[in-house]
Structures are given as structure tokens and as C-alpha cells.
Structure 1
Amino acid sequence: MGNITFIEHDGTQHPVELEAGKSLMQIAMDNGVPGIDADCGGECACGTCHVIVDSAWLNVAGKAGDDELQMLEMTPEKKPASRLSCQIKATDAMDGMVIHLPEFQM
């Protein structure tokens, strides 16, 4: 198995084991990564699992769907590489992926 590294706004790194098939939100929550609130439990209905995908990994993460884009529009810290971690399913190709966390969730 590989790893994904979540990096908090202050630079604190949280390397966690990659679990293919799970959402990045679920992986972060299972590993106690702070900064992922996930108020809706992964239903793409709240935007509190906002992450910024490192530019080197954008193609691997895939593109956001319409529902996800609508939720991200309400996020004050939205960046071009913003995604909702509940909408990114982990694959083995994500070994080494770097995910940045915003300073605040909605």
C-alpha cells in the first residue's frame, strides 16, 4: 500500500496509508487528520471537506462534477485546484499524493 500526505495550512504534515476505494475524506477521518469536518458525512452537501490538490496530482484526482462545483462556489478559500475530498475516490495511482488543507472550512 502507498501513502497520501495531508498538509495543514500551518505546514503540519499527516502522511496516511492509502486505502484504494475509500474517499479521501474517509481516509482523513479514519486517520484523525484535523481540518476535515465532513458535516454531511460525504454526501457532497456541505463543503466542509474542502481540500486543495497539489498541482502535480490534478490529473490523478480527476475532475469535479457539477454538484461538487456548486458546493465549492460557496467556499471562500476556493482555489483552482480545490476539490471536496468526499468526491475523490482513492486509487493505487495516488501513492505519494499531496493534499493541502485550507485554513478554515465553511
Structure 2
Amino acid sequence: MGKITFIEHDNTEHVTEFEVGTTLMQIAADNAIPGVDGDCGGECACGTCHMIIADEWFGKTGSIGDAEEQMLSMTPERAKTSRLGCQVKTTDAMDGLTVHLPEFQM
């Protein structure tokens, strides 16, 4: 099991454990992380699991697909390392990952 730190927009940190293969959205939901709604249940259809990956970790999150790109393009707080948590499946290489949460979700 690895650890991921979710940091709210007010800098409140939540350190969680994860099992490889679980999405960032599911980890946040399972741990009641405030600010991650996941309204569509992980179908990449709502943008309410927007997360900003720390620069040094972004390359480990995989590539952004067309549907995710479309959802992110409508996100007002998009950053260069934005991802939708439902589209990022964890790997062993993500142990120690830091994720920042925007103030608002779509």
C-alpha cells in the first residue's frame, strides 16, 4: 500500500493510503476528502473530480484522453498539471504523490 497526500485549497492536508489500480477519485471518495464530488461516478462526464498534480509527479499519471481533455477545457481553474481524478489509476510509482484540489469544482 502506498500513500497519497490531498491538499485542499486552504492548505489542509489529508494523507491517505491506496491500493494500486484504484483511481484518485475513488481514493478521495473512500476517504471523504472535501472538494472531490465525483458526481458522474467516474465516467469522465462531469469534471467534479478536478485535481492538480504536483509538477514532479505529473509524468507518472499517464496521458490525457480526448474525453478528459474536453472536460478539463471547461474547468475555470485548470492548470498545466490538471487531471480528472477518475481518469488516473494509481501505480506503485505514485507512492508519495501530492495532489492539490481547486477551490471550486465544475
The residue number in structure 2 matching 1:39 is: 39
Ranges in structure 1 where 5+ consecutive residues have no aligned partner: none
Distance in 1 (alpha carbons) for counterparts of 2:62 and 2:53: 10
TM-score, structure 2 as length reference: 0.98
Render the CA deviation track for 1:40-62: whole Å, top value 9, x for unaligned: 00000000000000001011111
Distance in 1 (alpha carbons) for counterparts of 2:38 and 2:2: 24
TM-score, structure 1 as length reference: 0.98
Percent of aligned positions that are identical: 64
The residue number in structure 1 matching 2:48 is: 48
Query: What is the root-mean-square deviation in Å for CA atoms of aligned residues?
Result: 0.6
The residue number in structure 1 matching 2:72 is: 72
The residue number in structure 1 matching 2:105 is: 105
- Output the amino acid matched with 2:15: P
- Output the amino acid matched with 1:38: G
Post-superposition offset of 1:92? 1.1
Q: Please say if residues 8 and 35 of structure 1, whose CA atoms lie closer than 8 Å, have aligned partners that are also in contact.
A: yes
Distance in 2 (alpha carbons) for counterparts of 1:41 and 1:83: 16
Tell me the secondary structure at the aligned position of residue 80 of structure 2.
Answer: coil
- Output the amino acid matched with 1:93: A
The residue number in structure 1 matching 2:11 is: 11
Distance in 2 (alpha carbons) for counterparts of 1:2 and 1:26: 15
- Output the amino acid matched with 1:103: E
